[in-house]
Amino acid sequence: MEKDHKPEMSFHGGRDPVLGQAGRHGGSEGKDHKCECAEVYRDIGRVLQAHKGEKDSLIEVLHYVQERLGYIPKDVQVRIAQTLGVSLPEVYGVVSFYNAFSEKPKGKHVISCCQGTACYVRGAPEVLARLEKELGIKAGDTTEDGLFSLEVVRCLGACGLAPVITVDDETYGRMTADKVPAILEKVRRGRGEVEKVAGS
Amino acid sequence: MVTLTIDGKQVTVKEGTNVVEAARAAGIDIPTLCYLKDVNAIGSCRVCVVEVEKSKTLQAACVTQVQPGMVVYTNTPRVRRARRLAVELILSEHPYECPTCPRNLNCELQTLAERMGIRHVRFQAKKDPKPIDDSTPAIIRDPNKCILCRRCVAVCQKIQGVDAIGPFKRGIDTAIGPAWGETLADSPCVQCGQCVLVCPVGALYEKDYTEEVWKALSDPSKHVIVQTAPATRVAIGEEFGLPYETVSTGKMVAALRRLGFAKVFDTDFAADLTIMEEGSELLERLENGGPLPLITSCSPGWVKFMEQFYPELADNVSSCKSPQQMFGALAKTYYAEKAGIDPSSIVVVSIMPCTAKKFECQRPEMTASGYQDVDYVLTVRELARMIKQAGIDFQDLEDEEYDAPLGISTGAGVIFGATGGVMEAALRTAYELHTGKTLPSVDFEPVRGMESIKEAEIQMDGTTLRVAVAHGLSNARALLERVKAGEKYHFIEIMACPGGCIGGGGQPIPTNDEVRQKRIAAIYKADRGMPLRKSHENPAVQELYRTYLGKPLGPRSKKLLHTTYRWRHVFGTMVEKAGAAVWPVDQAAGGGGQA
C-alpha cells in the first residue's frame, strides 16, 4: 500500500457490493481514479456477503481482510459487525486480541524482533531498543513514511542464531544493537553489504 | 434432579445447576466476584474455586455443573490458599482509594478482602493511571478500578442488548470499554446504568450532581424545588437500613424539606398527567386508525435505544415527554405563574431511580419552558448521600406530605415505578374515558410481575385492546421484532430496566431480581394505600387542565408536554468520528425518525 493511500478514503465510488448502492464517492466509478483498492473492497464485500449472518465466521473474515489490506480498517470493522450480526465491541475485541490482526496499516517492510528466551538472554532488548530509536516508533507501530512496521515476536525458530530479527522474509542472526542502522539503511536502499545469515 | 455432597452435606438440585448455586441451596456461601447469577458465569476471577474429588485441579464453582455423586469441598487449606491468592492478585492491581471511592463500604472486592482476612498484599503491580471516562452526563467509568470481571459487558449485551462495551486487547493490556477505546458518549450506550448496578467495585458509577444541588440550595436568590419519581419511595429506605418492602414516601418528603427544598413535589403528579396525554393519544389513534401500536416513552434509556435501533418505529412511540420532563416544563411555566416566581430563579431537581434521566434532562428538546426544564437529576444513591451529609436521622423522621399542587397524585402515578405500571395506569383511565363506565376492578394483574414479555387483552365496550409489556431492552427487542413481523398490538409499554424503574440504574446497590420483586410488592402496596387510584380523578391534574392547559393534546399541552425524536447511529457517533462510515450503513426505512 502506498503512502497516503488509505483504504478508508479509497472506496472510490464502486458500487457497494453488499447493498448494491453507490459508496461515498458514488457516481464517479472508474472515472478519474482507477486503483486496486476499490477492487479489494469489492472483493471484501463479496466475502462478507457470502458469510452474511454467520457470527462464527468472524475470524475467517478478519483473516481475509488482513491478507488483502494488511490491516482491519475501522470502516471494515463496522461493516463486518453489521453483515455478520456481531457487535462492534466483539469485532474490535477479536481484532485487538490476536497478533495476526492489525489495527493500523502495516509498513512496506515488516521488522520482527524476537524477544523469546534465547534471544532475550543474548541481548534482544537492546536490539529492540535500538530499532525503536532508529525508527522513531514503538514496537507495534508503523513509521510515518509507511516504510517500516516494527513487531515483537516470541520465537522465530532460529534460537541458534540468537538474537534474531527478520525483515520481511529475510533473517538476520547474531544481532547487536550496532548492526541495526546498517540493516535499515540497506533495506531503504533496497540492497546492501550487511552480513546476512540466509535461510533458517 | 442431581444429588451431590458439598462439605459432607447431601444436596439435591436441578440438573444443570452450578456448584455455587448448589452450595447456596445447602447454606454454604462460596465467595464469588465475577459471577452474576443467570448473567455472567465465566470462571475468570478464580475466587469461587473448590476442590472436587477426582479432579486434579481446583474447579471454579460458577462454571462447574453438578454431577451425580460429586463430592465437593469448599473450605480446605488448598481452597483457602488459592482464593486468597486470587484476591491478592486482583488487589495488587487495584488502587487503594477505598475511603474516597463511591463504593466504599458497599464494594464486593473490599468485602472479599475482609472476609478472607487479607491484611497484607504480597504483590504490587505497576499501576499506570488510565484516563477516567466522564463523557456522558450520567455514568462515569474508571478503568483504574476495573477488575475485568465482565459483569457490565454481560449485562449490556445479554440483558440490555445494547453492546456498547466489550473486553479488548490481551493479557496485562486487557481493558473494558467501547470499541477503539472511544468514550461512552460516542458509543451506543443508552446510559441505563444497569452496568453500574452490577459493577462489584467502583469502576462504574453515576455522575454526582450533589455539589451543584447543595450550591443551589444555599443560594438565597434561587427557588429550589424537587420532584421524586415513583420508584424512589420504595428503595430509599434500603440506604438507611430499613427493611425491604418499606414504603418511605413520608420520610423521604420530610428529609427533602430538611435539606432545604422550597417545595417538595411528586413526579407521580406528572405521571398522572402523562396518562391523560398518552391515554388520549391512544384513544385518538384507535379512532383514527393509527399508527399502532402506540409505544410508551417514559423511559429515557428506551427512547435512546429506539432512536438507535428502531428509528423506523419512531412514529409509533408516544410523543409524550416522560413524567420528569412534563414536570420540569410545568414547574417553570404553570407553577412559576401560579406562585408568582420568576422562572429564571427556579431550580428544578429530580430524585430518580435512573441514570439515563441525567441524560434526558440535558437533551436539547427539553427546554419547552424557555429554560432547561429540569436542572439536576440525582439518583436515589445521591439523595441518600445528601441526607447522610446533612446528619438527618432518616429512620426517625415523622412522615410528611407533599406540597400542592404538583405533589398531588393517585395510585396510578405510583405504579409507573414497576414494569406494567404505565400500561395499567393507562388502562384504568382509557377504559373509563372510552366507555364512560366505572371499572369493576382497577387491578390489571396480567401486566404485573417479572415475566419478560407480558401480553393481555382488555375488553372495552366491544373493542378488544391487545397490549404487551416488556422490561429490559433485550426483551424489548424481542417484542419489537414480533411487531415488525406483523404481530398486532394496540398499546405497548417498554421500560429499559429489568423490573421497570424500581430496578433502575440509579437505585441502591444491590439491585438484583430478589430485590426487584420486593420493590414491586412495595409499589403495589403504595398504590393500594392511595385514596385515588385513577389518573383522571387527580384533582390537581383536573385543575391544571381547567385553568391552564385546556385539554389533553391541546395546543398548550403539545407545546409543553410533547416532544420529538432523532435518528442515531446504531454504533454511536464514534463511527462517524472515526471516519468509519464510508461504507453506507443500513439506516433502514424512515432513517431520520421524527426530525
* Domains, chain B, ordered by start: 2-92 (3.10.20.740), 210-561 (3.40.50.1780)
* pLDDT confidence band for B584 (50 / 70 / 90): very low
What is the dihedral sign for C-alpha A22, A27, A30, A36?
A: negative
pLDDT at B127: 83
Residue A195 lies in a domain: no
* pLDDT confidence band for B289 (50 / 70 / 90): confident
Strand, coil or helix: what is B2? Answer: strand
For residue A93, give its domain range. 7-97
Q: Active site residue: B277, B307, B360, B493, which one?
A: B360
Q: Does A146 touch chain B (CB under 8 A)?
A: no
Q: In this structure, are A115 and A80 located in the same domain?
A: no
Burial category of A141 from C-beta neighbours within 10 Å (exposed 0-12, middle 13-18, buried 19 and up): middle
Q: In this structure, are A86 and A136 located in the same domain?
A: no
Active site residue B514: no
Q: CATH number of the domain that A40 lies in?
A: 1.10.10
Residue A21 lies in a domain: yes
Q: Does A79 touch chain B (CB under 8 A)?
A: yes
Q: Picking from A51-60, B104-113, B121-130, B560-569, which range would have the lowest pLDDT averaged per residue?
A: B121-130
Query: Could you report the per-residue pLDDT of B260-288, keeping only the tens digit for each?
Result: 999 999 999 999 999 999 999 999 999 99
Q: In this structure, are A12 and A92 located in the same domain?
A: yes
Residue indicated by cell numbers 411555566: B333
**Cα–Cα dist B496/B160, whole Å:** 8
pLDDT at B578: 81
Q: Picking from A151-160, A188-197, B323-332, B411-420, which range would have the lowest pLDDT averaged per residue?
A: A188-197
pLDDT at A31: 37
* pLDDT confidence band for B44 (50 / 70 / 90): very high
Torsion of CA B260, B261, B263, B265, to 10 degrees: -130
Query: Could you report the per-residue pLDDT of A42-91, keeping only the tens digit for each?
Result: 899 999 999 999 999 999 999 999 999 989 999 999 999 999 999 999 99
Cβ B414 vs Cβ B523: under 8 Å: yes
Residue A73 lies in a domain: yes
Q: How far is B163 from chain A (nearest CA, A)?
A: 6
Q: How far is A15 from chain B (nearest CA, A)?
A: 10
Residue A65 lies in a domain: yes
Q: Active site residue: B251, B321, B357, B358, which one?
A: B357
State in Å, rounded, how far the first CA of chain B is from the last one.
56
Which tops the pLDDT comparison, B438 or B126? B438
Q: In this structure, are A90 and A22 located in the same domain?
A: yes
User: Which of chain A's residues have a Cβ under 8 Å away from the Cβ of B584?
Assistant: 16, 19, 21-24
Active site residue B281: yes
pLDDT at B16 over 90: yes
Considering only CA atoms, which of A121, A133, A107, A134 is closest in space to residue A164? A121
This prediction's pTM = 0.89
Q: In this structure, are A150 and A75 located in the same domain?
A: no
User: Which of chain B's residues have a Cβ under 8 Å away from the Cβ of A76?
Assistant: 583
Q: Active site residue: B280, B318, B319, B409, which one?
A: B318
Beta bridge partners of B59: B50
Comparing alpha-carbon positions, the chain B residue that sits nearest to A93 is B168
> Is residue B60 within a helix (H) or strand (E), and if so which, with residue range?
strand B59-60
Q: In this structure, are A87 and A150 located in the same domain?
A: no
**In Å, what is the CA distance from B10 to each residue of B1, B18, B71?**
13, 15, 9
Domain finish residue from A62, A97, A132: A97
pLDDT at A104: 86
Q: In this structure, are A116 and A79 located in the same domain?
A: no
Residue A47 lies in a domain: yes
Q: Picking from B216-230, B457-471, B512-526, which range would have the lowest pLDDT averaged per residue?
A: B457-471
Which tops the pLDDT comparison, A198 or B51? B51
How big is the A-B interface in CB pairs under 8 Å? 75
Mean pLDDT of B337-358: 98
pLDDT at B396 over 60: yes
User: Which of chain A's residues have a Cβ under 8 Å away from the Cβ of B170?
Assistant: 96-97
Considering only CA atoms, which of B455, B574, B546, B535 is closest in space to residue B189? B574
pLDDT at B11: 96
Residue A90 lies in a domain: yes
- Residue A64 CA to its chain's centroid (Å): 12
pLDDT at B383: 98
Q: In this structure, are A75 and A148 located in the same domain?
A: no
Residue A198 lies in a domain: no
Mean pLDDT of B23-39: 96
Domain finish residue from A63, A97, A131: A97
Considering only CA atoms, which of A110, A11, A158 is closest in space to residue B583? A11
pLDDT at B527 over 80: yes
Q: In this structure, are A54 and A79 located in the same domain?
A: yes
pLDDT at A169: 86
pLDDT at B410 over 80: yes
pLDDT at B63: 98
Domain finish residue from A68, A97, A126: A97
Q: In this structure, are A128 and A84 located in the same domain?
A: no
Reported residue count of chain A is 200
Q: CATH number of the domain that A162 lies in?
A: 3.40.30.10
pLDDT at A41: 87
Residue A2 lies in a domain: no
Q: In this structure, are A164 and A121 located in the same domain?
A: yes
Comparing alpha-carbon positions, the chain B residue that sits nearest to A96 is B169
Amino acid symbol at B43: G
Amino acid symbol at B111: T
ipTM above 0.85, yes or no: yes
Strands B59-60 and B139-141: unpaired
Comparing alpha-carbon positions, the chain B residue that sits nearest to A79 is B583
**In Å, what is the CA distance from B424 to each residue of B102, B321, B443, B455, B468?**
37, 18, 8, 12, 11
User: Which of chain B's residues have a Cβ under 8 Å away from the Cβ of A79?
Assistant: 583
State in Å, rounded, how far the first CA of chain A is from the last one.
28
Instruction: Please tell me the total count of domains within chain A.
Output: 2
CB contact under 8 A, A24 and B582: yes
Q: How many of the other CB atoms lie within 10 Å of CB of B208?
A: 15
Largest CA distance in chain A: 59
pLDDT at B73: 98
Q: In this structure, are A44 and A87 located in the same domain?
A: yes
Low-confidence ranges of chain A (pLDDT < 70): 1-36, 191-200
